[in-house]
């Protein structure tokens, strides 16, 4: 069974348009609650399942939170609400509080006009496809409210930020601190605005926080992990040692060195992997994605670290890590998984692993990545309003064939539909930037013609 509403990162879309409407989100909460009620597991017969709901700072979060709460209550599920909290914090608290599920209201790095719903299991991991499909199947049924005596209750928990701050700090070695470091942290006017600066400050750093004044409309607006020029400029302006940039829900990470040079997810995973090999606590290899830079793969090979590619999406990176028994993986976009520290991608925790490497070795980001030579990558997003099977379009396949013949093993072509936006992503990677530019444009034009763009 295919999934109609769930993409690679939950349900997402423009607020007010299907499926991100109050009516649908209430029905989604009810359907998810029904699945939880049907699978009570170890709960006593008279005990309600309980879910945790967190959100980022979008203005639409209030509306969708109320709709979710109503849907869960109608199905007989209790609700705990945290207010604005990073996505990985909800994953952690769901597990720590022994709850049946966690829900995050967020569209991650998207603008404030979008929003979404994503779920975590009781173990703090994203739901498997089978459970998402079970929820979707329940959406075909009307809402039938349980008897009044069985309705769920809702309450807010006030100490969620403090709990999560302590958890983040616990992933950094006790014998280390950040004293003497001036760090700029860009919170993207998102869910980490009241978390990340405190974590770094309590570990001893001098913290300069930017993007920490959310107003409901400015999340990810010219700031955060998708707009790293803001971080780069701030690091140079404040003469900081390092910069940390998170996205709206706190699961992505980009960093900058004292020169303002930006380091993406591939480079930061390499830093963590190289340090772990040096300290003999690397478990297995690294999982990247189809988008991971070929230079990263080659650099890891020189360190004799196994490397494997998964489909794009941190859920697929997680699947391969679990299958292999490995602990480290990530995406170029900044989703980094350190499964020995957390069950899901976490921007703050990942930053602390990079900082550990720098503190224990005394090296800079530039020095640590000197052996990593990334190849130029060109990404072009082609808008689409309909589902397209690109494998069935000869014009596109012939353009890809020409590109691969011309690159002759010195680059890669990746063509895929985004799981979070209505676009086809065309990526070409080559040792020569001019070749990457040319073939990315050529293939993107072929895609546009094929879909009537």
The reported pLDDT for the residue numbered 451 is 81
CB 64 within 8 A of CB 20: yes
CA distances from 61 to 89, 93, 112, 127, 193 (A): 17, 19, 10, 21, 16
Tokens of 62: 């209030």
The reported pLDDT for the residue numbered 421 is 77
Q: Choose the catalytic residue: 60, 75, 106, 108.
A: 108
Task: Tell me if residue 398 is catalytic.
Answer: no
The reported pLDDT for the residue numbered 406 is 94
CA distance linking residue 318 with residue 323, whole number of Å:
9
CA atoms within 13 A on the CB side of 440: 23
The reported pLDDT for the residue numbered 422 is 82
Domains, the chain, ordered by start: 11-159 (3.40.120.10), 171-262 (3.40.120.10), 264-347+357-368 (3.40.120.10), 377-450 (3.30.310.50)
pLDDT in tens, the chain (453 residues): 457 898 878 899 999 999 999 999 999 999 999 998 776 556 666 788 999 999 999 999 999 999 999 999 999 999 999 999 999 999 999 999 999 999 999 999 999 999 999 999 999 998 888 889 999 999 989 999 999 999 999 999 999 999 999 999 999 999 999 999 999 999 999 999 999 999 999 999 999 999 999 999 999 999 999 999 999 999 999 999 999 999 999 999 999 999 999 999 999 999 999 999 999 999 999 999 998 999 999 999 999 999 999 998 888 999 999 999 999 999 999 999 999 999 999 999 999 999 999 999 999 999 999 999 999 999 999 998 766 666 666 678 889 999 999 998 788 999 988 776 788 899 999 989 999 999 999 999 999 888 875
The reported pLDDT for the residue numbered 41 is 57
**Residue 329 φ then ψ, to 5°:** -165, 175
CA atoms within 13 A on the CB side of 89: 32
Give 116's strand partners: 12
Task: Tell me how far apart the 2 most distant CA atoms of the chain are, in Å.
Answer: 69
């Amino acid at each position: 069974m295919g999934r109609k509403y769930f993409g690679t990162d939950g349900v997402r879309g423009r607020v007010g348009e299907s499926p991100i409407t109050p009516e649908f989100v209430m029905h989604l909460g009810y359907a998810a609650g029904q699945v939880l009620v049907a699978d009570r597991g170890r709960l006593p017969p008279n005990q309600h399942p309980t879910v945790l709901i967190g959100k980022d700072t979008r203005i639409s979060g209030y509306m969708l939170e109320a709709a979710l709460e109503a849907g869960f209550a109608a199905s007989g599920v209790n609700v705990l609400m945290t207010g604005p909290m990073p996505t990985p914090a909800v994953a952690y608290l769901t597990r720590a509080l022994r709850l049946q599920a966690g829900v995050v209201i967020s569209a991650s790095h998207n603008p404030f006009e979008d929003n979404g719903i994503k779920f975590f299991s009781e173990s703090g991991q994203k739901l498997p496809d089978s459970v998402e499909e079970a929820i979707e199947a329940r959406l075909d049924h009307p809402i039938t409210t349980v008897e009044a005596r069985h309705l769920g209750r809702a309450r807010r928990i006030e100490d969620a930020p403090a709990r999560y701050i302590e958890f983040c700090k616990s992933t950094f070695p006790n014998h280390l601190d950040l004293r003497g470091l001036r760090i700029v942290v860009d919170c993207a006017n998102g869910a980490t605005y009241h978390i990340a600066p405190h974590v770094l400050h309590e570990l001893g750093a001098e913290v300069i926080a930017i993007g920490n004044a959310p107003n409901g409309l400015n999340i990810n607006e010219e700031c955060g992990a998708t707009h790293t020029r803001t971080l780069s400029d701030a690091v140079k302006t404040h003469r900081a040692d390092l910069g940390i940039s998170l996205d709206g829900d706190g699961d992505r990470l980009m960093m900058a060195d004292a020169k303002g040079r930006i380091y993406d997810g591939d480079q930061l995973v390499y830093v963590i992997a190289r340090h772990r090999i040096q300290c003999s606590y690397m478990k297995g290899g690294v999982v990247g994605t189809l988008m991971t830079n070929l230079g990263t793969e080659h650099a890891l090979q020189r360190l004799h670290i196994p490397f494997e590619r998964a489909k794009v999406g941190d859920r697929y990176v997680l699947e391969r890590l679990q299958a292999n028994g490995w602990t480290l993986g990530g995406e170029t976009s900044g989703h980094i998984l350190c499964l020995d520290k957390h069950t899901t991608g976490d921007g703050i925790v990942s930053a602390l692993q990079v900082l550990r490497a720098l503190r224990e070795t005394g090296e800079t980001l530039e020095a640590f990545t000197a052996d990593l030579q990334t190849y130029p990558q060109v990404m072009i997003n082609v808008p689409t309003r309909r589902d397209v099977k690109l494998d069935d379009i000869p014009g596109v396949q012939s353009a890809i064939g020409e590109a691969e013949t011309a690159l002759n093993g010195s680059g890669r072509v990746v063509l895929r539909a985004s799981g979070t936006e209505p676009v086809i992503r065309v990526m070409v990677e080559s040792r020569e930037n001019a070749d990457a530019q040319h073939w990315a444009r050529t293939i993107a034009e072929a895609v546009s013609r094929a879909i009537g763009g």
